[in-house]
Structure 1
């Protein structure tokens, strides 16, 4: 994974995963350009890159701006395509915006690559949400795809555009289906990006963590450093071209036990079981955890940060930097 002196464009680069990826690439000696709209509800926060601001180029623009993206894609060796609308609830209340960002803009980006930079390598951040309610566990890449919300449908379209352009036009692209990524830099103002963000905020504010339903729903989680490793491995691998890989973890935990684990780390707090809001219950997928054996066997990836360590590092980060995230309009 030698990215030294490579020109790299990261969409969503001031957001959670993008900023952590940028930091790793800067440390490898890459020439990094970050694209972010800093749209308030999508998670970008300038503090995420405060320590590397003088080592990256930043362009504040929207991936829906096809002219700007065409200009920015020129001469790049890699595109880590992480920008997206991540809120499942927002996708149901405003489906057209979700379509524009997660599908239409992706097609526009790929067309720009086809015209002006066909040699670029693209890694697209997809989501486990597109599988819908699992038929079996753990979920592998051959599982039927049945999105339960607009976000899942549009992310699937964005993913398949990338695979199509790989297969038809030879633009090297692959996709990673992420699952509950967490860590420093994630949105904590609300649950638009991940429910763990608001849980951490409630914990540190000494307010009850709200666990929906009976709390027995099973999930797996990836610390952001492990997600970054997977992105870099996929970018560096020619074997990955045209493929989709699940991320995931061997640690599977119920949401109730997760809340208890967070409280046990010594930061105080408590939790309470609350009824599912009807709008959330309608799109809940029940138990979910991934089979990530394909990326393990082909690219050598496996998560290294266990849940206890990852949660402790994440909570410590927000305890130290709460003023940069609590009231910031991200």
Structure 2
């Protein structure tokens, strides 16, 4: 944590707002910020289909302020951004399939509400620093690997298009209005407190549930699709570095990993770590095949060079922590 220690003082006594704060990444970020001495406010709608889960705040209930509101509510956001030093803007609709079935809701949450959040900052708190959680999904099917930030953007689903718009609103407001903003393109973040009851947040979640329940992990396609993964603690460190560093203003950064693995080998690794279970290779469901991106892994040299970030938790270690967490807390996440 050498890179982070240089910025830790930035958050001691700081006032921090996290949208999507009771969700997976937001709650893990909240724990870390409280450790660093920040005054933290969490905003979450707790809409059942999304990632919010009150159990994510176990042990933190009396140390943060919680506001149950929707980022689509402009009046709430106008109030909430006032007096805040930092905004970690993590709220979003993450399901690719939901975005195809209900594109207008995805548009409202991932595009229009991002614009209204930034308008709230412009009108009521221009000094705030904003970090936006974007996604590698906006690259679509890669033209080359590893994917760097100069790679063309050609998303393959409605979610990717709306996330791309949300990201660029943040860069625009940085460049035009001086609202210090940046974006991190996250890739397959996993760890404790993620949604595992279905595949709305990540396919890895439903794999964990299947494994612990004694069901067969279903690997779609030929299982040879390559991916990289980011353990949530590493993601939190990247968010904090991006929030604290002036070198991040107006920038877009990929996260990534030094480890890549195909999905068949990932399933086998999870079975090995857990000590039991099995997986099967099955054809893509008809609605998934058109939006599959094939292989993807990111080039994170830019954030390493600018902010000193690099992943620290190895995939095997991260999966072991993850499986142990859900084996203990399954009652709250199934």
Q: TM-score range by the shorter chain?
A: over 0.9
Which residue is equivalent to 2:68?
60
C-alpha deviation, 1:278, in angstroms: 1.1
Whole-angstrom distance in 2 between the partners of 1:126 and 1:82 = 8
Report what 1:147 is aligned to.
Answer: 155
In structure 1, the partner of 2:208 is: 200
Name the residue aligned to 2:230.
222
Unaligned 5+ segments in structure 1 are none
Give the corresponding residue for 1:12: 20
- 2:182 maps to 174
Q: Write out per-residue CA displacement over residues 189-247 of structure 1, whole angstroms, 9 at most, x where no aligned residue.
A: 10000000000000000100000011000000000000000000000011110010000
Query: Partner residue of 1:26?
Result: 34
Partner of 1:310: 318
For the residue of structure 2 that corresponds to 1:32, the secondary structure is: strand
Aligned partner of 1:95 in structure 2 is 103
Q: C-alpha separation between the residues in 1 aligned to 2:112 and 2:168?
A: 12
Q: Find 1:73's aligned residue among 81, 84, 87.
A: 81
Aligned counterpart in structure 1 of residue 278 of structure 2, from 256, 264, 270: 270
Give structure 1 regions of 4+ aligned residues with deviation exceeding 4 angstroms. none
Distance in 2 of aligned mates of 1:100 and 1:188: 25
Query: Secondary structure at the residue paired with 1:29?
Result: coil
Question: TM-score if structure 2 supplies the norm length?
Answer: 0.97
Q: Secondary structure at the match of 1:272?
A: strand
Distance 1:61 1:274 in 2: 40
Q: CA deviation at 1:268?
A: 1.2
1:142-199 alpha-carbon deviations (Å, 9 max, x no partner): 0000000000000000000000000000000000000000000000010000000000
* Matches of 2:156 and 2:274, distance apart in 1: 37
Aligned partners of 1:310 and 1:246: how far apart in 2?
20
Provide the residue aligned with 1:258 in structure 2.
Answer: 266
SS in 1 for 2:325: helix
Pairs within 5 Å for 1:102-141: 102-141=110-149
Q: TM-score, normalised by structure 1?
A: 0.98
Structure 2 residue 244 is the aligned partner of structure 1 residue 236: yes
Distance across 1 between alignment mates of 2:146 and 2:24: 26
Maintained 8 Å contact 2:274/2:323: no
TM superposition shift of 1:266: 3.3
Q: CA deviation at 1:267?
A: 3.6
Deviations 1:22-45 (A, max 9, x none): 000001110000000000011100
Matched, 1:287 2:295: yes
Cα distance, 1:50 vs. partner? Answer: 1.2
Structure 2 residue 173 is matched with structure 1 residue 165 = yes
